[in-house]
Amino acid sequence: MTDKTLFAPYRLGSLTLVNRIVMAPLTRNRAGKGLAPSELAATYYAQRASAGLIITEATQVSEQAQGYQDTPGLFTQPQIDGWLKVTDAVHAKGSRIFVQLWHVGRISHVDLQPGGGAPVAPSAIRAETKTFVNNGFVDVSEPRALALDELPGIVEDFRQAAANAISAGFDGVEIHGANGYLLEQFIKDGANQRADAYGGSVENRARLLLEVTSAVVKEIGAERTGVRISPVSPANAISCSDPQPQYNYIAEQLDALGVVYLHVVEGATGGPRDVAPFDYDALRTRFKQTYLANNGYDLDLAQAHLEESKADLFAFGKAFISNPDLVERFKTGAPLAALNPATLFGGGAEGYTDYPSLADTNA
Ligand code: 8OZ
């Protein structure tokens, strides 16, 4: 036994988190007018502010970066204003909040793209998966390969969104490099067949993620920049022939950039932790700052991994949706409420802000 507990404060860069429990990013498809966070979003996040750190739902950095209906953005003034209400509400409850910055790449549909164009990708390879658009699940559209001279524009969109995040009161940003979206499409060779400096070798495939991260670090500081990866996750129909050397390199390079945390989806996103062999300790060895672990954790597994120093922070996803007071329930051993899958994506308050806390239930 050590005296390490999930319920003690943790120093993350210049921030003090009240505990080591993190609310994972969760897509809820409830953005309002102009894809600004809805009025309800401030309530939803504030209800969950017993987490030491909240990471928002994935938030697109541009119009082109959107892949599902009703996901929020962070590239217009009304979007910044909407997020300001969220960050104020969370800060008033004593928590901290990072926004997850997102470009979906090929996981999109022409109906969501500027001018009805094709979604963009490293290579013109369609993913065998669906997206949610026009109130239904449909196959993603055939993508087009990004030209070399379009990549600086994508880096710039992330940089600008990071600047906007600070204007919106966020404590930092998380770059979404996971789950089969654009940055991971470059990293994993199942989606990247480029013959230029952004395809082929381990170094080339990591280049766009590292350029984006470097631009964000320059804009808002390494202490406010985290990165999420999912080395072996097949989420969104992606594959990688060499995840261990690929991600060992990424961990080393992110360490060199000094980013404040590495958020690792261990296993298949939202699925089994043992989907494929992978040595996560090899990332921990290479990345010296905070290791944030995610996927399939319960309180006991998190506590065990903390005691073994396998990770510093632990992100819980689905449990936070149906248990706004998850930290209190963990502390007291209270049972966890079940999630209603029917209200996960889209809709209003039902299944969003109406899950009761224990205090509500006992009132
Ligand atoms: C569920 C539905 C749509 C998007 C991810 C942003 O997997 C997502 C996502 C999850 O990272």
> Whole-prediction pTM value?
0.98
**Does residue 81 form part of some domain?**
yes
Atom 4, ligand 1: residue with shortest CA distance: 27
The residues, ordered by sequence, that sit 6+ positions from 288 with a Cβ below 8 Å of its Cβ are: 255
Confidence band, pLDDT 50/70/90 cuts, at residue 362 = confident
**Does residue 2 form part of some domain?**
no
Looking from the CA of residue 176, the nearest atom of ligand 1 is 11
Helices (H) and strands (E) in the chain, counts: 11, 14
State what percent of residues in the chain have pLDDT above 70. 99
pLDDT, the chain, mean: 97
pLDDT digits (tens, 9 = 90+) for 72-123: 999 999 999 999 999 999 999 999 999 999 999 999 999 999 999 999 999 9
Residue 254 has pLDDT above 50, yes or no: yes
Question: Which has the closest alpha carbon to 247: 234, 259, 264?
Answer: 264
Confidence band, pLDDT 50/70/90 cuts, at residue 152 = very high
**Does residue 229 form part of some domain?**
yes
Computed on alpha carbons and rounded to an integer, the radius of gyration of the chain in Å comes to 19
Atom 5, ligand 1: residue with shortest CA distance: 179
**Does residue 37 form part of some domain?**
yes
Q: Which domain holds residue 104?
A: 10-362
Atom 2, ligand 1: residue with shortest CA distance: 27
Confirm whether 261 is a catalytic residue. Answer: no
Residue-level pLDDT at 1: 45
How many folded domains does the chain comprise?
1
Give the CATH number for residue 192: 3.20.20.70
**Does residue 182 form part of some domain?**
yes
**Does residue 118 form part of some domain?**
yes
Residue 2 has pLDDT above 70, yes or no: no
Residue 3 has pLDDT above 70, yes or no: no
Residue 301 Cα, ligand 1 centroid: separation in angstroms? Answer: 24
Q: How many whole angstroms separate alpha carbon 217 and alpha carbon 243?
A: 25
**Does residue 346 form part of some domain?**
yes
Residue 45 Cα, ligand 1 centroid: separation in angstroms? Answer: 17
Find out whether 272 and 238 touch, Cβ atoms under 8 Å. no
Residue 279 has pLDDT above 90, yes or no: yes
| Residue type for position 47 | Q
| Residue type for position 25 | P
**Does residue 92 form part of some domain?**
yes
Looking from the CA of residue 26, the nearest atom of ligand 1 is 10
In a 13 Å sphere around the CA of 277, the CA atoms on its Cβ side amount to: 2
Of 181, 247, 249, 352, the catalytic one is 181
